[in-house]
Each structure stands twice: as C-alpha cells, then as structure tokens.
Amino acid sequence: MPHQPDTTPRSGLTEDQAKARLAADGFNELPHTKRRSPLRIVLDVLREPMLALLVAGGAVYLLLGSREEALILLAFACMSVGITVVQEARTERLLEALRDLTSPRALVIRGGERIRIAGREVARGDLIVLSEGDRVPADALLLEAQALSADESLLTGEAVPVRKLAGPATDARPGGEDQPMVYSGSLIVRGTAIAVVTATGPASEIGRIGTSLNKLETETPHLQRQMRKLVVVFASLGAAVSVAVVVLYGVLRGGWLDGVLAGIAVGMSMLPEEFPMVLAVFMAVGAWRISKVRVLTRRASAIETLGAASVLCTDKTGTLTENRMTITALRLADGTSAVVGPVLPAAFRELAAAGVMASAPEPFDPMEKAFHSLAKADRRDGETLPGAGRTLIRTYAIGADLLAMSQAWEVPRGGWQVAAKGAPEAVGDLCQLDGPARAAMTAQVDQMAGAGLRVLGVAEAAFDGPNLPDSQNAFAFRFLGLVGLSDPLRPSVPDAVAQCRSAGIRVIMITGDYPATAQAIAAEAGLQGDRVITGPELAGMPDADLASAVQNVTIFARIMPEQKLRIVTALKAAGAVVAMTGDGVNDAPSLKAAHKRDDGLVG
C-alpha cells in the first residue's frame, strides 16, 4: 500500500489536529480479541464433546436414581472444568498485563514543542523523534536521519539491523537496507531521526499482519475431531439399540413403559463414560503440570495435538537461535584465523580492541554488543576494557557512499587513536588496499560468508594533527582483519531435533534470513536436506509443485510472512498434522493456521 506523502509542517500537528485524526483513524493500537470472562471460559470448556458426554452421562444417571454413579461422573467433570478455568483465566490476566507493559511511549513534536505521549495516542501525520533504544511507535517516513539503524527482526526474523536513510516514500517491505521507512515495533539501535507518521494501528505493517489473523479460522484440534466422531458413533449405536429394545419389548411383551426403561438402561450400559472421564482429567492435569514449568496454557485444547503432530515448522531467529549476535571467528590481515574461545590469542587482541573502540561505549546495536562481550569475556587479571583512559571525541557515521564508521579517541599522551569497522570492501577502501591485498581479503570474506557469518572489516589509525579532519577518509588506516558474527544456536536445539526425529516428527526450518546462514544453522541443528527454497523461488512456484516440494525440503530461506502461511497450508493439504513455533510477529499468520502452535503455550 503506498504511503501518504509528507504534508506535515516541521512544527508538527496541533493538539486539535491530532485529536481529529485519532477520531477519524482510531487509536494507534493493534486489533485484539476481547478478554475472555470466566463465564465465557466455562462455556468454551463445556463445548468439548467428551466433557459434554461426561456431564450428560452424570445427568442421566441422576435422573434414573443412580446417585453414586452420577456424583462420581459430575465430580470429575467439575474438577476438570475448575482446573481448566483457573488455568486459562490466570493466563488471560497475565497476557493482559504483558500488553500493558509492552505499550511504548513516544516523543512527538506538536505545535513546535517536543512532548512525551502514550504510543496509542500517536496520530497519522505526527512528527516523532527517534534515538538509540527507542521502540518505533508507528510506521513513519524519515525526514532527517543521522547514522540510523533499526532492528526489524520482529517483522522479518533477521537478527542483523538494517541501515535507514531519509528520502521519498517507497513501497518497500521491512528488512531492506537504506530504506526511508521505519516500522511500528522495530527498535532503533543506532543514530537519531525525525520522521512523519504515515500509518497507525491496523494500517501499519504490523497491524496488517494482525488484521490478517482475524480472517483465519482456528481449526478444531485433531484429537477433538476424533473424539467427536467417536461420540457420534457411540450415540448412534446406543440410540439404535435402545430403540430396538423398546420396540421389541413393547411388541413381544406389550409393556411399552417397561420397554422404554429397558431401552434407557441398555443405552446407558453402552455409554463409554470412562473415555470422557479419563480424557478430561488427562487434559486438566496436563495443563497443571505444564504450568509447573512456568508455561501458561491459554487453551487446554493446545495440549491435545502435541502427540499427533507429524511436521514441526520452526522459525530460525529467536527460536532455534538466541536472537543475539556473537563473534565466532576472527581473521588477521595475513589470513591467520582463530575460533573465539574463553581466551583470545595475543595476536588477535589488537583486532578485538579496535572493534570495541569502533563501537558505541554503551551500545544498542547487537553487533556492537558482541564486540563488548568479546572484550569483557577476555579480560585478564589487572586489565581494563579497551578504550579505558581514552575519551571519545568524534564519531564519523556510516553513510550511503561509505558503509563504514569510525570513532576518534583522545589518548592521555596526546593525539588521537581512530578505529573503524564496517563492510569489508568499505574498510578496504579506507585502508587503500592494493590489488593483491584486496583479492586476498575478498577470498576470506567469501569463505566466512559461506559459513553463514556476517563479516565486518576492522582497521585503526593514529592521528597527531591539531584538529580532526571532517572525513574519515583523511586518516591513514591500517587494515587489522575480519570479524565473523553469527546468531548462535541454542544449546538445546540439536537434542530437541533428534527427539522430534525419533518421535516421527519431521522438522522444517522457515526463515527470513539468507540461504547460506540458514544452511549453516540447519547443519548445526541436525536438520537434514541439501536443497533450499527461497522466497522468490516460492513466489513463482505453482501450488502443485509446492505440495510436492514440501514433502522433502526442510529449509526455506528469505521467506515473507504470507509465504510461511502458504507453506503451512500446503503441508496441511498433504495430510500432515502441522505444529508451528516462532517468536516474531511475522510468524503470527502461519502460527494461527497450524494445527498446533506455540501461541497456545505461552512461556
């Protein structure tokens, strides 16, 4: 959907204009279902066929005068309902509290003054002020931006932040580099900006995902469908036999009243009251046991299909991985490599120290946090972090013409020490590498990128002039080496994948990340399969070809949210019972479409 052009004056909206737009567009909040009351939860629970059969059986026994049997059945039914209602009501209260905690506040310019307001009160056309650590309250077009980077993993599933540049509005989707749009829910990890809000609430990118959820009908759980069939079969059989007994008794003996009583007795003897009792208690106890490990079961029916799943579709970032960048490989300019461990070899300490000096002292950027973590983990007795004793004087921001940044530090003995990091080719330009050196660096970059690593170049320079130059190109940089970063796999994942495989569950990874990174993580996790289907390839694939491909392919990369939904739909059409897990908003449509999903189990 095209974004509206900027027509807001630089003084921002007035309070009256903001109120008028809020009245026309609604508050800046996502659509969500109303909180279920305890009565609604009880009614939903009683709709379960096996529990309804249990209650019906108890009522019939009570009418026939068998109080002991009736009380036993009704007691188990009440216990099951009570446990389920308490558990689900508790979950609803906690989810409501989480919504309140995650509601961001926004700094806006209204009437020429900067004021802090609740995120839900941001209106279309508001000017918002963004800086490091801010959560973007609404989709907005950048009017001014200084070295701005945003983490859009909530929408894209990619852990690496993307650069943002001010410019005219585009129809680009989240996740692209050098785009002029920032999106609701993303996190500013570097720089500052002023932006004009173009879409709020349901009209925003995250809101459109929420709106699409309302168009999806949640499927009846697999076990529940089987139980309904069983109930219908037994009810039909019992009714047929009861009618036959009544007719035969009345015709042969002439006692129609006695025949009706005999028919009811025979029908009740065929009622499988043990089935609903055992299953109702099993589900209730299952919800209680899961709560003991600090997992909230929003609906008891979410437990039913845990054992029936045949395919598990999983996101990568934040699900298989830890959703944080970690430095895992270092390479010096001469090609010497090191795998990062508890203690760095002495030859690599200069490279690591320069990486920290090229990062913000208190970073929000995941990659800069990784440099600080590396230096902190490698501290030795009596040492201080690199950069101690120096004063940060100036930062040369990354730009569209040079994808590298530098920071100049004043040293106690006089002069400046400058450290740079960025795209390897940009750092190579800063260092003015000659042909052979650049070719060697490119070969190393290709090798590290092939292993699924995000590669940065690092350089340093000394400067003794009286004043710092206006451009980082004026420094005589020396190339120090390359740093490889990755989003590390969770330690428990390989064992979990092996357990799924032993249980007959096929695991499929669906991610928005690049194919090389997806393959590297899949290999670490123990996922089998050499073929990778990318989003562009899937977009041109007919449904019949996709239905055939999902039978064998286990890795899908560069996938958009609507494509995740299409994959899940293809698996279901092939007869698979699909489980889906993911932690991003971009996973929501496919989560709701799956048979079993982790939105029913909230950890």
Say which residue the tokens 């001014």 belong to.
144
Q: Are 473 and 406 in contact (CB under 8 A)?
A: no
Q: Which residues contact 366 (CB under 8 A, 6 or more apart)?
A: 151, 159, 160, 161, 189, 324, 325
Between the CA of residue 229 and those of 55, 161, 224, 233, 266, what are the distances in Å? 18, 50, 9, 6, 21
Q: Looking at 126, 139, 315, 378, which residue is catalytic?
A: 315
How many Å apart are CA 318 and CA 228, to the nearest integer?
37
- Strand 311-314 and strand 578-581: the pairing is parallel
User: What is the residue-wise DSSP string for 430-499?
Assistant: HHT--HHHHHHHHHHHHHHHHTT-EEEEEEEEEE-SSS--SSGGGS--EEEEEEEEE-PBPTTHHHHHHH
The CA-CA-CA angle for residues 476, 358, 415, to 5°, reads 50
Q: Is 304 exposed, middle or buried (0-12, 13-18, 19+ CB in 10 A)?
A: buried
What DSSP string describes 132-147? TTPBP-SEEEEEEEEE
> Which residues is 145 bridged to in the sheet?
193
- Residue pair 134/122 in contact by the 8 Å Cβ criterion: no
Whole-number Å distance between alpha carbons of 368 and 328 = 14
Show the tokens assigned to 431.
């260092």
For residue 93, what are the contacts with CB-CB under 8 A and spacing of at least 6?
none
Residues in the chain: 603
Among 362, 364, 370, 360, which residue's Cα sits nearest to residue 406?
360
Burial 59-91 (b: 16+ CB within 10 A, else e): ebbeeeeeeebbeebbebbeebbebbbbbbbeb
Helix (H, G, I), strand (E, B) or coil at 378: coil
How far apart CA 16 and CA 263 sit, in angstroms, is: 75
495 is catalytic: no
Q: What is the C-alpha separation between 456 and 599, in angstroms, rounded?
A: 37
Give the whole-angstrom CA distance, residue 501 versus residue 185: 35
Instruction: Say how far apart CA 328 and CA 337 lie, in whole Å.
Output: 11
Active site residues: 315
